[in-house]
Structure 1
């Protein structure tokens, strides 16, 4: 184990919260679906958004700091040796081992498998994917175990599914301090099962699933203003355990009303992992 610890108030910010609009799914939407292959992520939805203004608490002002097994996410101060996002080989040879070590350390998992990453740039005309502006969770009760089998094969996947496993994303900004389009993250304890709406992802040759989130007034939201490239958020996308620990944390980029004019575009990378436990 190393000494990396959660961050709550390392960077100064006098704002306890902001109020901002988040895009939820209209809960009346029948059979929600995203035609990823035919139309794309941004325009392939067959359902409407339900925009709601909500208070979003500054996680840096929370004395304990949100925790992975309580709220479903946590912020850590842990610099990276990766100097840029243009070299795919460097991402895999330098950054992947860093994230494997971090996830293993913070979760206590016996094995961590990284299966992909996505670079996002919040700027028009960028060749990379843009930040996601709707509240979602990357995996569902059905898609998480299926993804394990797809990644590891039927025999090994089924064996791994016999024990506890979790899906964890590692989200980090690069190049700039985040002033535009920070992440809003839901406190897992405030999300009801009926708020989670299964949504099909149609890739043409296969189908996946995410949860879109319907709004309820009891949901609690957090963000970390002015994240630096030396900070990383771990976010639970799925936990097979049903023992009271957080199982997931829906999240979204949002328009922060306090963003200064002329702020640099957000540049970020999320790395997706599965962590497996022997006991």
Structure 2
């Protein structure tokens, strides 16, 4: 597939007056027939053409704190069928992810993997009612500009109680001791599967080109989980890049949240786009994304707690 700078389209949440009085939401559950409001969502998106710069030649010099992403060479030991087996992913691939995150600058004192998903551009489009609890379901790449699922942390009501976090794949319990550190990072660890990405490469919005006013929180309600995603409103200042010919032996680290306010890149808005050079012979994109929270204790590693 020819790479380089290309033009394509991504989807943004419209700047509607509605969102000034009603929070964006999306329901992935059936609506009671007696309910007065039968809406499953109030989201309204618009498509915008953007320029995407291929940063393949400089990707390995990009950093998480400045660019919001980092590319590493780290082949996986698993084959494609293994990624369809939840027990193998969570026992073997999670260990690889832990090792990858351990080797980045600063490392971690404590790590919690709280979600993972596989995607394929060959997956048929689905409505709102599908089983998100089945982590081996192939989801489609998302063309919507967003910052991934938020891990919702709940503080203990009484001293000594555990701190809990709710994620799309279940509830996580954190030892109270780790929460003396106010600095944490939410990482996404993204990898192509089976072959080089030809269709729907992942693109990133330069963190310095997008403001907090461009992002809005959206509630996602499923049968067993209520969480939040940040969607982006369009702004012509947004600058986009992607990695051409992204290989399965390369793992991409992205920062979804960083509580350290001193760094340039605290979160990375991203989306997938249809590459204009694809043909009928292009292979569908397959990928896996793992989400992890990283904690550092006071006075250890690169990070210091205030």
Alignment TM-score, normalising by the size of structure 2: 0.78
Q: Distance in 2 between matches of 1:161 and 1:250?
A: 29
RMSD between aligned residues:
2.5
- Aligned partner of 2:9 in structure 1 is 21
Which structure has the larger Rg over C-alpha atoms?
2
Range moving further from structure 2, 83-92 or 20-29: 83-92
Is 2:142 aligned against 1:132? yes
- Aligned partner of 1:96 in structure 2 is 94
Range moving further from structure 2, 61-70 or 92-101: 61-70
Question: Structure 1 unaligned runs (5+)?
Answer: 1-11
Alignment of 1:18-97 (within 5 A): 18-28=6-16, 29-30=18-19, 31-38=23-30, 44-62=40-58, 65-84=61-80, 85-97=83-95
SS at the partner of 2:87? helix
Question: Structure 2 unaligned runs (5+)?
Answer: 32-38, 126-136, 156-162, 166-170, 299-306
- Aligned partner of 1:170 in structure 2 is 189
SS at the partner of 1:106? coil
Range moving further from structure 2, 110-119 or 177-186: 110-119
Q: Distance in 2 between matches of 1:18 and 1:98?
A: 33
- Aligned partner of 2:304 in structure 1 is none
- Aligned partner of 1:3 in structure 2 is none
SS at the partner of 2:64? coil
Q: Cα distance, 1:271 vs. partner?
A: 0.6
Q: Distance in 1 between matches of 2:180 and 2:139?
A: 31
Q: Distance in 2 between matches of 1:125 and 1:26?
A: 25
Q: Distance in 2 between matches of 1:227 and 1:14?
A: 10
Q: Distance in 2 between matches of 1:21 and 1:66?
A: 24
SS at the partner of 2:251? strand
Q: In structure 2, do the counterparts of structure 1 residues 122 and 64 end up closer, same or farther at CA, with 3 Å as the change threshold?
A: closer
Aligned residues: 261
Which runs of at least 4 in structure 1 moved beyond 3 Å after TM superposition?
61-65, 124-127, 143-148
Contact (CA 8 Å) 1:104, 1:111: kept in 2 or not? no
Contact (CA 8 Å) 2:191, 2:250: kept in 1 or not? yes
